[in-house]
Amino acid sequence: MSGLVSIALFLASVVIYAWKAGRNTWWFAATLTVLGLFVVLNLTLYASDYFTGDGINDAVLYTLTNSLTGAGVSKYILPGAGLVLALTLVFGGLGWVLRRRRYHPHHFGYSLLALFLALLSVDASPAFRQISELVKSQSREGDPDFAAYYKEPSKTIANPRLNLVYIYGESLERTYFDNDAFPNLTPELGALKAESVDFSHTMQLPGTDYTIAGMVASQCGIPLFAPFEGNASASVSSFFPQNVCLGDILKHSGYENYFIQGANLRFAGKDVFLQSHGFDHLYGAEELKTVVADPAYRNDWGFYDDTVLDEAWKKFEALSQSGKRFSLFTLTVDTHHPDGFISRTCQRKKYEIGGKANQSFSAVSCSQENIAAFIEKIKASPYFKNTVVVVSSDHLAMKNTAWDYLNKQDRNNLFFILRGDQPQQDVVGLKRNTMDNGATVLDILGGDNFIGLGRSSLSGQSLSEVFLNMKEKVLAWKPDIIRLWNFPKAINDFTVDSQKNMMAFSGSNFRLPLLLRVSDNRVEPLPESEYSAPLRFQLADFAPRDNFVWVDRCYKMAQLWAPELALSTDWCVSQGQLGGEQKVQHIDKAQWKGKAAFKDTVIDMTRYQGNVDSLKIVDNDIRYKADSFIFNVAGAPEDVKQFSGISRPESWGRWSNAQLADEVKIEYAAPLPEKFDLVITAKAYGPNANRPIPVRVGDSEQTLTLGNEVSTTTLHFDNPTRSSLLTIAPPEPQSTNEGNILGHSPRRLGIGMVEIKVVNREG
């Protein structure tokens, strides 16, 4: 209902302004801005609902403020492009409609009424209400009874006997196993479920409804509510550092913990979570590509389920043979929304419903077949008698092509257990939630029957039975759960570990590079990730008086405040205010100790604007003082006008990249000498090694030959035409992700350049 009211208010505002308000630039801009905000909010709601089926929730907030590395985004490119196009058309149309009476005199009353109605339309919109509620939930006091229900388990199991295999089925909810609703959809895994202890009423709670959140809920017994600190949760090096989770208990009890999945581990911070809680052996898309039989056999997210489960079986067999106590967690991906993927080894590649093939159901039927085959191999092995096998959905399915069919059913998460030591067939219909999963497993392994807010469904009582509305109770506890992150509120002394690339202060550790916005009662960490802006661009958005501490490579800040370090790739720390004073300190020790100290200086707006403008200079436009082109820092020497075909700086130098341009071109600001030596320190990539590489200046061409290791070559040029353009043409650029930023398109590498120097031979 509120949605219809907000749309009515929006339309009323448009009509009144367009036909009654008349000409006034300020009122036009203000009204268009508010109406545009209404459009953006509703498109955001639509886009979020496309992913989650539940609008703008914690899943959207967490995913957008964390690492998106490895996300399978290709299926969303077309809808995303459609949204951008729609937004452009709507803004253009709005502007045209609002300016229909721009030649008529301005009417203050109608302008005010139109703006007021526009503001009311925003306030009444469901998108604004959802975002407001998310923001408010970050700052509430919490519920005083949280401490009574949050229980920390013992860190050890007294006499561990059983190994653990824990399978997360991506979106593989229990609803799919309803044979009346979906005949013969899951026969193989359904048969195994029928042999198990099957928990049939596992509900989903807020903060547990996406993959990383489902994992946190099942292992730590809490929902994943992250601090609303921009990208802060992506920078912290530990994940709920105060919590004792299932992985911690297993590790302290002598287990070696393994995790295997086909997607990139860094997506949504899974690597940080697992490493923070007892997992020392992690395998994702990057780690598996060197060991799988066919590295090219991949879908949008990573390796298919048949590949991943084959690797999981190999690991299970090897660990079982070694006699070590172990846990092996694995996560499938083929059933990921919006429509899933079909592994090539499946017999079940197609499932029809309503007389038509449905991709999501087909992916479910295929994936369950792969999971069942993996479990059957475990059951047939001599090691099953010492093994507990858990099969669990990570969360309920999000909006996919099976969505309408699923929503007609009573939806629950999947959770069943097969015990090799004590075969048992039972259906447990007690009301429970996914936070109870880890406690139930811990109970079977001989540990406590509680973890956090989770309780064993075998010997305890789920809080879903204690509270009539567990969803409301979890949201009331949200501030208490956020406080478990232990984010610091102040910074005084800090330590930079230049070898581990970490910064520590106030009991917390953060990954470098890092930018901190510091106020009286708050420290806001802003990391640099694959999908966030570089830190200097983020710093450029600071207000003139905002205090900052910035730890980064020296050359990134030296251009502004320490020219003597402009070519240094060491770590430096700068602090101050953009409109006041700034200082840069060179980190020259493995363990470097610093102090945050901010002066209350007079703000100079001219200095502030100069700093902002300098921070916003793109890498290729940066210029430094040097007599050669140094490739491991951003920019170029002052005598270079422009360059192309060159990738980003790395610690050793830069690659040529034919994805950007076919040849490397360096154009100098002044004509090159008539006679000069070109001294090139470089290496070749792949088949470019030991091949003639043409190097041209004007009409003169020389040949460069490089190996796979860095070497220095001097070429002698005559340049009678006084050309200013140097061109290098690698013969066979190779498409590769080697050394690439995770999640970015492959580069086409030819040669790796460390330094190029022009030495005048005239006279």
- Region 670-697: mean pLDDT is 96
Residue 272: is its pLDDT beyond 90?
no
pLDDT of residue 73: 43
pLDDT of residue 71: 40
Give the H/E segment covering residue 551. strand 547-553
Residue 95: is its pLDDT beyond 90?
no
- Region 69-89: mean pLDDT is 53
pLDDT of residue 516: 92
Segment among 130-134, 641-645, 713-717, 749-753 with least mean pLDDT: 130-134
Share of the chain above pLDDT 90, in %: 65
pLDDT in tens, 377-419: 999 999 999 999 999 999 999 888 999 999 999 999 999 999 9
Output 255 or 131, whichever has higher pLDDT.
255
**At 234, is the pLDDT very low, low, confident or very high (cuts 50, 70, 90)?**
very low
Residue 504: is its pLDDT beyond 50?
yes
**d(C-alpha 45, C-alpha 41), whole Å:** 6
Residue 126: is its pLDDT beyond 80?
no
Output 543 or 509, whichever has higher pLDDT.
543
Other residues' Cβ atoms within 10 Å of the Cβ of residue 466 = 12
Positive/negative CA dihedral, 131, 137, 138, 140:
positive
The pair of structure tokens assigned to 628 is 């050669």
pLDDT of residue 757: 97
Positive/negative CA dihedral, 379, 383, 385, 386:
negative
Q: Mapped to the 3 state alphabet, what secondary structure does 378-424 carry?
A: HHHCCCHHHEEEEEEECCCCCCCCCHHHHCCCCCCECEEEEECCCCC
Positive/negative CA dihedral, 37, 43, 48, 53:
positive
pLDDT of residue 525: 83
**At 140, is the pLDDT very low, low, confident or very high (cuts 50, 70, 90)?**
low
Most confident of 97-111, 127-141, 222-236, 475-489: 475-489
Nearest to 134 by CA among 206, 58, 63, 40: 58
- Region 350-360: mean pLDDT is 93
pLDDT of residue 266: 79
**d(C-alpha 19, C-alpha 75), whole Å:** 42
pLDDT of residue 39: 74
- Region 479-487: mean pLDDT is 86
pLDDT of residue 169: 97
Query: Could you tell me where the beta strands, DSSP code E, fall in 237-315?
Result: 256-261, 281-283
Q: Which amino acid is at 759?
A: V
Output 691 or 118, whichever has higher pLDDT.
691
Residue 670: is its pLDDT beyond 60?
yes
pLDDT in tens, 645-669: 999 999 999 999 999 999 999 999 9
pLDDT in tens, 26-35: 776 776 677 7
Domain ranges for the chain, please list them. 2-137, 146-339+351-483, 493-617, 623-760
Residue 57: is its pLDDT beyond 60?
no
**d(C-alpha 6, C-alpha 123), whole Å:** 8
Residue 211: is its pLDDT beyond 70?
yes
pLDDT of residue 87: 58
758, 676 Cβ separation under 8 angstroms: yes
Most confident of 115-124, 129-138, 268-277, 657-666: 657-666
**At 230, is the pLDDT very low, low, confident or very high (cuts 50, 70, 90)?**
very low
- Region 234-251: mean pLDDT is 84
pLDDT of residue 528: 74
pLDDT of residue 8: 77
**At 524, is the pLDDT very low, low, confident or very high (cuts 50, 70, 90)?**
confident
3 state DSSP class of 308: helix
Nearest to 227 by CA among 137, 132, 131: 137
**At 231, is the pLDDT very low, low, confident or very high (cuts 50, 70, 90)?**
very low
Output 716 or 135, whichever has higher pLDDT.
716
Architecture of domain 146-339+351-483: 3-Layer(aba) Sandwich (3.40)
pLDDT in tens, 81-93: 565 566 566 656 6
Segment among 40-49, 354-363, 602-611, 750-759 with least mean pLDDT: 40-49
pLDDT in tens, 414-469: 999 999 999 999 999 999 999 999 999 999 999 999 999 999 999 999 999 999 99
Averaged pLDDT score across all residues of the chain: 87
Helices 126-137, 2-16: axis angle to 10 degrees equals 120
The pair of structure tokens assigned to 415 is 């959770």
pLDDT of residue 692: 96
Fold of 623-760: Jelly Rolls (2.60.120)
The pTM for the full model equals 0.69
**At 717, is the pLDDT very low, low, confident or very high (cuts 50, 70, 90)?**
very high
pLDDT of residue 174: 97
**At 489, is the pLDDT very low, low, confident or very high (cuts 50, 70, 90)?**
confident
Residue 567: is its pLDDT beyond 70?
yes
- With b for 16 or more beta-carbon neighbours within 10 A and e for fewer, the 96-108 pattern comes to eebeebeeeebbe
Other residues' Cβ atoms within 10 Å of the Cβ of residue 156 = 16
pLDDT of residue 98: 61
pLDDT of residue 69: 40
